[in-house]
Chains A and B, each alone.
Chain A
Amino acid sequence: MQHQAFQPHPEIAQRFEDLHPPFARQAATIEANRCLNCFDAPCTAACPTHIDVPRFIKKISSDNVHGSATTILEANILGASCARVCPVDVLCEGACVMHRLNEEPIQIGRLQRHAMDYFYKSGRKLSLKVSELRPEKIACIGAGPASLACAAELQQHGFQVTVFDRKPLAGGLNTYGVAEYKLRSVDSLREVELVRSLGVNFEVKDFTSQADLEQLEADFKIIFLGVGLGPMRKLNIPGENHPKVVDALEFISSYKTGGRISVGSKVVVIGAGNTAIDAANAAKRLGAEEVHVLYRREERDISAFSFEYENAKRAGIQFHWNTIPVAVHHDDMSLASIECAQVWPSDKDEFRKIPSSSFHLECHLLIPAIGQAGLLEFLSKCRGVELAQERVVVERATGQTANPRYFAGGDCVNGGREVVDAVADGKRAAIGIANVLQHEAAYA
């Protein structure tokens, strides 16, 4: 079965304007010319996919924008989404030597977006790196960034790749889980189309039984696991099974795909990671008057990047530190309030309620965003694949698991990092897979 076509909801596009608008052509040229063209550039070293940043930037300044885009895609097939979602402040732009000149770093993310926008607008496709198809078939499970990167790299080297996903649209979190003002679903799907145009086959399929996996092992020479993480963790408090309690990923995917374009006037988000911040910002843009974020630790402990946190504060989101939800009060139709309590940290993950500190926050929608569990049930069916702390254990440089027929990458390996990390994992695994298969072919 093919993935379905997708039409964005016009209202969503309007409410979620670009966080970082694109460069005008002349501005891009001027910015590109600011780049010093460092040797063995720190920005390139800081990028998990090692995009040759000075090279692609200099190509913009020489007006070779197509060449710039292919330089990016050579290293990172999801260059367009990474240009938008990468935390550049802590990656390439954070490493820019301009900081040491007491100047603003080169706006690498926006320049990358400039090149990628040009590429997709031109309608040109990527060419394969080899002319001959190879007989080996490879399956990628999950259609998120790790699998897309793995599939694109293998297909470009002549292997035949099929990507399976249980969701109707490919792209994984890029399509379903990233705040719309950073990355629109349509832009993510554009990248899926680029991968498809290389010859990668996409199928909608959920692997639920051991038998499914056995059939897969029989049909494909190598299996790449790019399955990401499982469902959001539960709060374990009374009332959380109410339909107005929606986990953050489901909430984000529902507005991105046009299923939800409004929220109640008061929204509470639990957790202070990047996903929580995305959900809180989205609630604000979807019309919430008040958005509260509850976090059980202190401000300095949040796992969201500081620029994301600053964005949220600017949007008027209110943060409550050392606070946990205790119960959800509701009637059949709607939520009434969240009962909260102040806590002291007593141990690493233990929190003690401060007596008589509880208070009520009026709330019409509750969005828990307290992290995802691993896909343990599925992964335990993959024979010989070792797990540790809910993650797949792989050899770092190749992505190979304890079962040499299985490779893995992305969130299911690293426990939940950035898109660019998943892409890097996928690409490394592809190179590892190609090495194994070529080695086998040489001795066949």
Chain B
Amino acid sequence: MSDTDLQNEAIKVDTEKGNFSYPENYEFDAGVGLTEDTVKYISDVKKEDDWVREFRLKALEIFKKKPMPTNWATKDLETIDFDKIRYYLSKGQQPSRTWDEVPDDVKETFERLGIPEQERKFLAGVEAQFDSEAAYSRMKEDLEKEGVIFVGSSEGLQKYPEIFRPYFGKVIPASDNKFAALNSATFSGGSFIYVPKGVKLKQPLQAYFRINAENFGQFERTLIIADEGAELTYMEGCTAPKFETSTLHSAVVELVALKGAKIQYITVQNWSDNVFNLVTKRGMADEDAEVKWIDCNIGSRLTMKYPGVVLKGQRARGEVLSIALANDGQHQDTGAKMMHLADNTTSNIISKSISIGKGQSTYRGQVHMPKHLKNCKNNTECDALLINTNSRTDTYPAITTRGQHNTVQHEASVSKVSAEQIFYMMQRGLSEAEAMSLAVNGFVNDLMKAFPMEYSVELKRLIDMEMEGSVG
């Protein structure tokens, strides 16, 4: 085996864990392709109010008009055939409050992925989505008493319109981009969370997203509102089995952190390598509020995701920490956006990427400090690790600065695993594959430290497991 092959072996990511599926028997199926009827069908099934139906239909118009982002995006986007996708599939279940009520195949799916086990261990609440709809949703009772709401977005729309509606589609309007419009027209599933004034959740809330059906598009919609002084951590995980044909995941996630609130949103996704993962995520931070995105992208064929924070109030703070691993045949096109709109706002972006074989990782960023702002700061660091001689990485930040006493700094570097390091570790008895695996872990290690402890352990285990799977 050549050095290159060995290196390839060493860090080949294993997506096998999620690679299983169950026979498809759905009660509701909007069919293949996207028309007004598809949208109306979804709205009917969900018994939505007129304003939601109109919101969807208007978004469909925008989707049809908007061009694909082709002037800079990868050509691979053009292979998506919107007429061959199924936009809504559900078993017609209401989200169960107890694990026993969950349909057996769905239950088994999540048990294989370890969801209830995690809940018992350290979660404050969990929601599990199977294709289009939430299958299971539960939250600790004491939190319910404090007024915390954690339900699927459909349930949120029905039961809490007075909280939901004022913020829905405000952080990310349907016209934001073609895929935000697509989601706005066809959204289903996702989470709605409201944390009342001053309530600080000590344990994280978690959602799990699972694509089971072939040729399917998952369009979950999440809205999280942290009222004044509230704090929460939300974690999401995603998997899909490997199908011959591609699958589309196009979520919209809106975060609203009111005065002094803190939201931390953690994503670990391990999609199989035929999923197009085109997601719009943005948070709004009011005065003294903080929005922090922690984003780990491991699988998928193409990920395009640039979590952003609109720093709307004085002293607001935004942060994006991200890790991307692009294996052969994958493109992780990720990054961050920081829009400074008030004085004394600060933001921080740290991005680490690893490219293996012909895998391509791209950082695309935007930092914007418009007119007459004072004392704003941004710091951006991008580090890329290239494993093979023909691995590829790109960095395209865009920084606009105006105003007084604002400072922006951006730094990026590209490196490879040091041959000396590998040699040293092999001398101490590690195989080349293990050494490589250790080096890659070392590269992301300082970022992992920024994660909440429980999650950092889980993520490390996930990376380790995937690395180990290919050793020997």
Is the pairing of A and B real? no
- Write the residues of chain B forming the contact surface with A, with a CB cutoff of 8 angstroms: none
